Every structure is written in C-alpha cells, then in structure tokens.
Chain A
Amino acid sequence: MKTAHAGVATNLSGDWTMNSISLQIESLLAISTDVGDLVPRNKTLVVDCSGISKIDMSGLQLLYVWQQCLQIRGLQAELVNLSDGMRSTVQQVGLHTIFKSSHDPAVS
C-alpha cells in the first residue's frame, strides 16, 4: 500500500536492473545535482520507490551507494513505498540492515 510522506520528495520508476542501470544512474545524478537546492541540510529526501517495476542486485547497490553519497553531503534519503517483491529481495540478500540505517520504516 502506498504511504504518504511529508517533506521533500522525489520518485523513482522503471527498470532498475543491469539492462537499464546506466540510464538510472543518470537520473540519480540529476536528482543529486538538484537536491542540494531543494532539501535543506540535515533534512530528509523522501524517495518514492513505488514506480520501480524491476530491480536486481545492481539496482539495489546503486540506490545504496547513492544514498551513502548523499549522506556524506549531509543529506538523508529515505526509501519508501517499496513493492513487496523489492522489499523481499532487500531482506533476502541482507541489504535491509544497510537501508535500515537510513531510518526508513518501509524497509525495516
């Protein structure tokens, strides 16, 4: 079920597998560039993942690294509205502990 989140938000969609990973990194770079202007320091960027149709390990890794890089810049990103499949994969491959560190209730 889709959850509403307050704060500055962005959304991700489409194929997040190796087939399209180069395209997705472009979209994240664009968000990274703009996000500094939109999100005040020490605030949270809510990332709506409900539009992600497919994701594999390379996609999950990309999301994590992007999240970490934002954190180094002093920005928090929360992944929300993960599909059941994505949530299950995250859990199964042990990435839930990493995403959990972003205090995202949807992942934990």
Chain B
Amino acid sequence: MSSDLSQFFQVFFDESTEHLAEMERILLSIDPHAPDEEELHAVFRAAHSIKGGAATFGFGDMAATTHTLESLLDRVRHHELSLTAEMVDAFLEAKDAIAMLLAGHRDKAQVDEEAVESVCSKLRSIEECGHKAAPLPEKAVAQGTGSAAVESEYRIVFTPPPDLFKRGVRVEPLFEELSGLGTLSVTAQVAAPDDFSAYEPEQCYLSWDMTLRSNAGLEELRDIFMFVADEEEIQIEVLEPRLLDEKSYPLTPLIPENSLPTNAAATGVPALESPGRRLYDRDETAPNAFGRRPVDGAESSSIRVGVSKVDQLINQMGELVITQAMLAQAAQQFDPVMYESLHRGMALLQRNTRDLQESVMSIRMMPISFIFSRFPRLVHDLAAKLGKQVELKLVGETTELDKGLIEKLADPLTHLVRNSLDHGIESPEERRQAGKQPSGIITLRAAQTGGRIVIEVIDDGAGLNRSRILQKAFENGLPVSDEMSDEEVWQLIFAPGFSTAEKVTDVSGRGVGMDVVMKNVQAMGGRVAISSESGRGSRVLVSLPLTLAILDGLSVRVGSETFIVPLNSIIESLQPQSGDINTVGGNTTVRVRGDYLPLLRLNGIYSSRP
C-alpha cells in the first residue's frame, strides 16, 4: 500500500462511520414485514460504498466482511429472499463487526476476529438457508423507485484522469463489480503518443466505453465509481429500459463527440480537464473530494477544523472579553458628558464583543442528535434482551449544546435510558394486565430554555415505587421518614450504592449509576430532577448550562478579596433586611418567603477579614 494514501484514510474512516450510522438508523426503523424499497437500497448503497473504499485503501478484511453483508442485502433488495427480523439483527451485528474492523484500522484497536467470522458465517448461513422470496407487499410496490426491478441498458463512458496510475488508483475492481451487476461489454481505447520515447509510463492514456444490461439503479452504478472517479469523468446514459420506469434519465449525448478519441493511435493525449476534486487529491475538504456528491448549491455547507483551533479561538475570545470589561471599567472614571464619544464607543465595543463571543461559541455547538443517535440501537438491543417491547421517541434532536457537554453527557444519558428500560418499562404481559399497550414508550426530549439546555428521559412504565425506595433507604441507613415528600423520596435514588433491583444483572441492579449520573451532571454545572407517578411512568429532567467554555459570573467582594460566582450556580440573589437574619441553635438563618434557610458567611469559610 502506498504511504501516500495514509493522508486520505481519515476521510475514508469518517465517511465509513457516517455510512455505518446511516445503515444502523435505517435498519432500526425498517419494518421486516413490509420493508420500504428505497430503505433497502439505501442500506445496500451504504454497504457498497464502504466495501469500495475498503478495497481501494487495501483494508481487505473490511472489504470481505462488507462483501458478505452486501451479497445478502443484494438478494433481499432483489426479492430473492424476503426480509426477516432475524436478518435485520444479523445486519446490525455485521454493522458492528465492520465498525470494529474500522476501529482496528483507524485506532489500532483490538479486533475480535472470531466475532467477525461468526457474523459472516451467520450471514452466509441465512443466505444459504434463506426463505423463498415472499410476494412483495403492496406498500413496497407502491413506494418502489423502480430503479432496481427494471432491467435497463446503460452506456457508461469512463474517461479517467491522466494521473490515475500515479495516484495508485486500481480500476480493475470496477470492472469486476460492474460484471457482477449484469451483462457487461467493455471496449477500451488508448490514446497514446505515436513515438514510444514520448510515452509516459505513469500516465493513463486509457478510456473505456461500456454497455451494461442490468436491473441495478443509476445511483448504484455511480456508487461503484464513488472512490475512483469524479462526476465529470464518468458518464452514464440509460439506453433502453426494458420496462416502464417512473424515473427518467437524460437521453441526450452525454459526452461531446471530440472528447473521446475515435482512433486511439491517431489521436493525442485526450484533454482530460477535471475542474473538480477526486480521490487522493490533496485538499480533502473540497466539495467533490473523494467522490462526494456535490453539495446542492454552489458553496460547501461545512468545513472540517481541528478542535484545538476552535479552542484556541475561544481562549482568545475570552481574553478579548476580559480586556473589553477592563476597558469599560476604566472608562467609567471619565465624565460621560465630556467624554461622550468614548462612552459611545465603549458601548459599541461591548455589543460587538458580545456578538462576536456568541458567534465564536456557536462554533463549538453541536446538535444533540450526536448523542441521541446511539439510543435507537441501544433500546433495540436491550429491549430484545429483556423481552420487552419499547418504542423510542426522539424530540428536539437539533437542539445544540457545547461539544464538551456532548461528550460528557453521553454516559449519564445512556444510564438513564437503560434504567428506564430495565426498571421503568414493564414486560408486555404486565402492561396488558395494567390496561396498557404491550409496547412501552421512552421519550428523549431536548430543548433550550433560556440559557440552559433541558433534556428529559420520559417513560410510560410503572413509575418509581415510593414504599420500596423508602424501605431500601432505611435498610441502607439513610435518614428517611414517611412524611417525606415525593420529591425528597425520589432524590434518595441518587445516594451511592442505592438499588431497589431484586437481582443484579448485566443491565442494572448493582446500585452504581444514579449517583454517578448526579455527580457527572453536577460536574457540568447541571441539575437533575425526577418526577414519577405510580403506574403512569417517570420523568428524569437534566438541566445543563449551554456551554462550559465561557461562564458569566457575579463578582462579590468579601473584605479585601473579590470572588466570581458562576451565574449558572446562582438561583436567586436577594438583599435581606436585618430583621430577616436570626440565630437559631447557634446557626445563622435567613428568612426567605417564610422559610428559614441556613446562612453561610464567606469570610468564615475563606478565613478572610470582613
């Protein structure tokens, strides 16, 4: 493998990760009894793209595993086999195996080769023993794109760039793949110089004109060239659809007559101007690089930037905000009438700095779907393991929060969802007996409220068992009483080692978790609240600050020292009257709306002089 390719691996890894995520998302939503045609094609295309890339970059194990998956998918989408729930599970396992191989190549992570082989064996076994194809459901027929069921004749003209060989691109597998799709007829043309001494051995003088009769769709053909050719280097024309197809393709000549040499020996090197990017180009961020489809519209929608660069920008922004605040403080010493223009300028500077700060902070913001997207699979697998039926609803996936919070939030949310599934949602039988639908619902909802992000994990399960929590808390030596409000009882489950589970499983019940959830959320400046109703379900609410990178603070002075208290830690500020402050049993209290709250004096805590 050429070492030059290594610089492009990351893009392949990123794109493959996206393909795998898309594959999983579709597989989790697909109905095995009435699969949507387009969804089957989409899963196939994702597998196919991964296989093509893996083969191109020399990751043979990934290519082989994906090929096994692709073979079965191909038979399913062509209705040679009917899709079953067992197949969907096997596809998901195959996705995991490919992800593991990907991690092996990317991070040098350990690969369980036995597990990979086991998945491949399962796929092969399903393919061999597969059921006969069931008649296609009406829904699927109605929704079909027609791109696969209709045999068409395609003319494919592939005019690779002159530096194809130099860049180490192997085109031989293309022909193998195209042959696998149907009947392929290939004619090569070589436009080389007449004088052998002028021949450049590393330059590609070849072009191909092919005819393919296949029931594969146009997109599928394009996908084969995805990692090899730019859009403009490959021209595909539908010559003769065998049956009427709702998709129509342009039948106009796809290449100018003078772009393909008719007499190879008589023509010079073809002018293969390629304005776009392609595989192995140095600028991997270009819109067309690596065979990416051009983004709709003229401009690229995003760029990849290292996190360190963004963090550096944020740090500098923080310095700028501080400098601006210092200047504003200094400017206050000047008479606002005499120095009106200075004060006006300072106000403008403050507004612009705030706007700039918000813009810079928004760079770090990521949609919460980055976390939410992992839950459909988790719920699917866990529900199957626990013998429960669960529907997962995701609401507010586009809600954005700081990248740092996203990374730290994943584990606590995972724990909450697992808890809801294991302890909250009842078995189908129990739900029926309780007069509920056999399938439970877990809702993950995110929303921005003021300067905070609120994430809720809601289930319609049995709810928290008040008496059992109280009893368990009592057994654990926690101070409890029957007079405690529900809110106070629910808070008991955050005590370290607390669990009401009767048996310890690998899902939950060890009493390690909710306290960790609370600690992690508090470490992010967040709060956790629980509400629950017996027989109706529970709701865990996690409230977080929008960002951790820059915090607004309240400046307080104690004696000669100044402290900054983060605003997100302040619920309320008030100035008590002297009559509101009392001493009860040696402790100082402050009376707020009729309640007595302990009053702590900062000079006592920090041993500073008042």
Contacts and interface: CB of A to CB of B under 8 A. Distances in A.
A binds B: yes
12 contacts: A18-B165, A32-B196, A57-B170, A65-B190, A65-B193, A68-B190, A92-B175, A92-B179, A93-B175, A94-B186, A97-B187, A98-B264
B205 interface: yes
Contact of A65 (B188, B199, B210): B199
A12 interface: no
A65 to B, nearest CB: 4
Interface string B176-214: 100100000111101011111101011011101010000
Given A64-B190, A94-B188, A97-B188, A58 B201 contact: yes
A98 B192 CA distance: 13
Across the A-B interface, give the 6 residue pairs with the lowest CB-CB distance, nearest first.
A94-B186, A94-B188, A69-B196, A65-B192, A21-B201, A58-B165
Contact of A61 (B172, B185, B193, B206): B206
A103 B307 CA distance: 62
Contact of A94 (B187, B194, B202): B187
A107 to B, nearest CB: 13
**Interface band, chain B:** 20 to 34
A93 B188 CA distance: 7
A25 interface: yes
Given A62-B201, A68-B192, A93 B172 contact: yes
A62 B203 CA distance: 10
Given A61-B206, A95-B188, A66 B196 contact: yes
B171 interface: yes
B168 A18 contact: yes
A29 interface: yes
B202 A57 contact: no
B193 to A, nearest CB: 8
A29 B208 CA distance: 27
Contacts of A69: 194-196, 199
Interface of B: 165, 168, 170-172, 175-176, 179, 185-188, 190, 192-197, 199, 201-202, 204-206, 208, 210, 264-265
Which secondary structure characterizes the binding site on chain B? mixed
A89 B205 CA distance: 17
Contacts of A95: 188
Which secondary structure characterizes the binding site on chain A? helix
Nearest to B178: A92
A69 B172 CA distance: 25
Most central of B193, B201, B202, B206 by chain A CB within 10 Å: B201
A94 B194 CA distance: 21
Contacts of A89: 172
B170 to A, nearest CB: 7
A22 interface: yes
A72 interface: yes
A15 interface: no
A58 B210 contact: no
A35 to B, nearest CB: 11
Contacts of A68: 190, 192, 194, 265
B186 A65 contact: no
A18 to B, nearest CB: 5
B165 A93 contact: no
B192 A61 contact: yes
B202 A21 contact: yes
B199 A25 contact: yes
Contact of B165 (A57, A64, A65, A97): A57
Given A57-B172, A62-B201, 13 more contacts: A29-B197, A56-B172, A57-B206, A58-B165, A58-B202, A58-B204, A65-B190, A65-B205, A68-B192, A69-B196, A92-B176, A93-B186, A94-B188
